[in-house]
A and B are shown apart, each in its own frame.
Chain A
Amino acid sequence: MAAVERKQKRVLWAISIPMAILALSAVYPIFFTINAALKTRKGFVLDRFGLATDPTFANFSQAWNQSRLSEYFTNSVVVTIGAVLLLLLVSSLAGYALAILRFRGSKLIFTIILVSLMIPVQVVLVPFYRTMIALDLINSRAGLIIAYTAFFLPFSVYLMTAFYARLPRELFEAAQIDGAGLVQVWWHIMLPMGKPALITLGILNTLYCWNDLLISLLVLQDQRTLMVGIAALRGEYTTNVPLLAAGICLAAAPIVIIYMIFQRQIVSGIAVGAVKG
């Protein structure tokens, strides 16, 4: 038996080598991006893979100031925070209603929300834009917050519903005996109990909103978010890769930091959302 275990250990060690190579490949882009950001445009064209021997920080300041990423940064932060909070609010309410309260038509509503999950953005581009105009939501950060909420809502509602459906019903039955109203139950029980799923959704939606390009391009035409600013660094013909790389470093840094902090919670949050008991 010990022999079996030893053999397994050896197998695992052997397997960890290709896995480490894969891990290196996953880290490489980050190294490449930072390295490229430290080169001049000419230096990059002449030597794309080599180490930046004479590092320059000019790209960072150019991206931040001249390419106005500093200005776009604020937009991205405001819009992302706003949309994520709104998403959490709306989806936890909906999940509560769909999973716990259950009413006539709740299955139909759940199906509608799931169907909308399957609609690719490209399919609804023009009509979506016209809807936004009709509601006078174009060119306002509030409009973008609402647009993000609408686009990322189906998945969030699904996850919250799945999560709440799995909580022991005794919890709410006890609350009902206490005579607590629905709003109080949501506030005092559903929100705290939903924390793992809410954290997961918070992280995922932050990622989606922060990295979104298309919706933001359409809705916030005059103010721009960070990703749009980065995309615009790609010219018609030329891409100044070092400048682009510097922009990407600046834009990805907050996300990478958030991910590192919440890594554990994402895992446990997804687990509760996705596993059927």
Chain B
Amino acid sequence: MKATNRTLRAGTMLAAAFTLAIGFAGTASADTTLTVWDWKNGDPVTADYYAAVKKDFEAAHPGVTVKYVMQPHDQYYTLLGTAISSGQGPDVVLLHGGSQAKERVSALTKLDDKVADIKGTVAGWDEFTGADGGLYAVPISIQGFAVYYNKDLFAKAGLDPEKTPKSWADLSATAEALKKAGVAPFALGNKEGFGADFFLSAVAANGWTKAQQDAWTKGDLKWSSPEVKAIVQAWVDTKGAGWYADGANSTAKFMDEYESFERGENAQTIGLISDVAHWKEFDEFLGADKVGVYVMPPIAGGDGSLKLPLAGGIGYGVTKFSPNQDLAADLVKSFADTDHMKIFFETAGAIPANTKVDTSDTKSPSAKVILAWLSDGVPLAHNNMSTAEVEEWHRQSQLLFTGETTVDKAVARLDDVQAQSKKK
């Protein structure tokens, strides 16, 4: 018994020493390594794209290793924050276009000189442009909001599956017809408040003038102004009119909402054009010929034309503290390279930011429609809000649905948050 105990204890000590030794041995570093942080590279659909970038870059730069680190998306900005605040971490980072990128430009390298040669071929720079007008990340995808609909359910409600709503009145009539047929007009998930973001951006897109969009971005167009308040009012009214399936506040937009659309439980959904919840995925579930797509009409205003709200989706930037500035910038450009972007488009179904990518051989009817819209888009309103405003809109949109607040109270509160974040 005593002997066993002694052996056990000796073994324990040995094992401790062993693990510590292994632990320390793991710290040895190679020669130049470029570390990339994102939340995408482990995704099976993007695997080919990332492998191609790595292979080509390492072949062109002997002695350099590209190291992808995929972070869980929910902790991504927390981790990035710790890395930035301590001035040590990845060389290249992925960012969402809009406020998430713009609020972090002081930690990123200005890329204007380095990307001059690709500036013309890549689109979506606005979302990654700092207040100083400098470019801080290279967009790799274009993101936009389109309304997808289920042609079978349109037919079931006696609607022409090829005729899409062109005005708010059309849209209301469509919703009424669908309701009569016992079909929920829209799938809606607002658990995180994303449903409200999509609604705001989609409805504002063709209702606001260019000047109003600019004022919105600067924080000068208040929530209580008629253009904005009308959308908040419509958010409540459409719920009252029974446009949405019940339980929106407890339905996650990703992917509960889209999965119910894919199961054919609702007729329409405001979806994306890249990554997920897009033509490629809906085609797969409903059949390419059963999926239709249109641009959300405005409540009022606009010039009658319907343009797709779009923006640079995600983009790679170089951190200021990276010791390999030039190499990192090269790698960032390699992500947006035409050949690589082609793989990105074909395997992940993302609309590439690189306009040179040949997308003519795509078979999806909705993809063709979307690609034709790309040349002339309008801004994505919610991308140009401060993060604090976005978060508050998430909360207020839910309370408007539960009836715990009114439109007047909600816009008053949002005005406050908007004013506060503008001050900073």
Contact = CB atoms under 8 A, between A and B. Distances in A.
A53 interface: no
Contact of B71 (A142, A223, A232): A232
A66 B71 contact: no
| 8 nearest A-B pairs in the assembled complex, by CB-CB distance | A142-B23, A82-B19, A141-B23, A237-B254, A231-B72, A140-B27, A85-B16, A236-B73
A218 B88 CA distance: 12
Interface in B63-94: 67, 69-75, 78-79, 81-82, 85-86, 88-89
A251 interface: no
B22 interface: yes
A81 B42 contact: no
Contact of B24 (A79, A140, A224, A236): A140
B75 A214 contact: yes
Contact of B26 (A141, A231, A234, A236): A141
5 contacts: A133-B86, A140-B26, A145-B23, A217-B71, A235-B40
Contact of B5 (A130, A138, A192, A240): A192
Interface size of B as a range: 35 or more
Identify whether the interface residues of B are mostly helix, strand, loop, or mixed.
helix
B39 interface: yes
Nearest to B281: A238
A62 interface: yes
A238 B276 contact: yes
Interface in B262-292: 262-263, 275-277, 284-285
Contacts of A233: 42
Interface string B47-62: 1000000000000000
Interface size of A as a range: 35 or more
Contacts of A240: 44
Contacts of B285: 42, 45
A258 to B, nearest CB: 16
Contacts of A125: 78, 82
A238 B82 contact: no
Contacts of B176: none
A96 to B, nearest CB: 15
A138 B88 contact: yes
B22 A130 contact: no
A213 B70 CA distance: 14
A133 B321 CA distance: 14
Given A62-B44, A142-B20, A221-B69, 4 more contacts: A82-B19, A144-B23, A222-B67, A238-B254
B262 A85 contact: no
A235 B82 contact: no
A268 interface: no
B217 interface: no
Nearest to A46: B263
A187 interface: yes
A82 B16 contact: yes
B72 A217 contact: yes
A234 B5 contact: no
Nearest to A47: B263
Contacts of B81: 126
B220 interface: no
Interface string A17-53: 0000000000000000000000000100110000000
Interface of A: 42, 45-46, 62, 66-68, 78-79, 81-82, 85-86, 88-89, 125-126, 129-130, 133, 138-145, 187, 191-192, 213-214, 217-218, 221-224, 228, 231-240
A78 B22 contact: yes
A237 B276 CA distance: 7
A237 B88 contact: no
B258 to A, nearest CB: 9
Nearest to A80: B19
A199 B27 CA distance: 31
B420 interface: no
Contacts of B20: 82, 86, 142, 145
Contact of A222 (B42, B47, B69, B78): B69
A45 B73 contact: no
A86 B15 CA distance: 10
Interface in B285-338: 285
Contact of B19 (A45, A66, A81, A235): A81
B415 interface: no
A127 to B, nearest CB: 10
Given A66-B44, A237-B255, A45 B276 contact: no
B12 interface: yes
Contact of B35 (A42, A213, A222, A228): A222
Nearest to B78: A125
Tell me which of A86, A130, A231, A237 has the highest count of chain B C-beta atoms within 10 A of its own C-beta. A237
Contact of B75 (A78, A129, A187, A217): A217
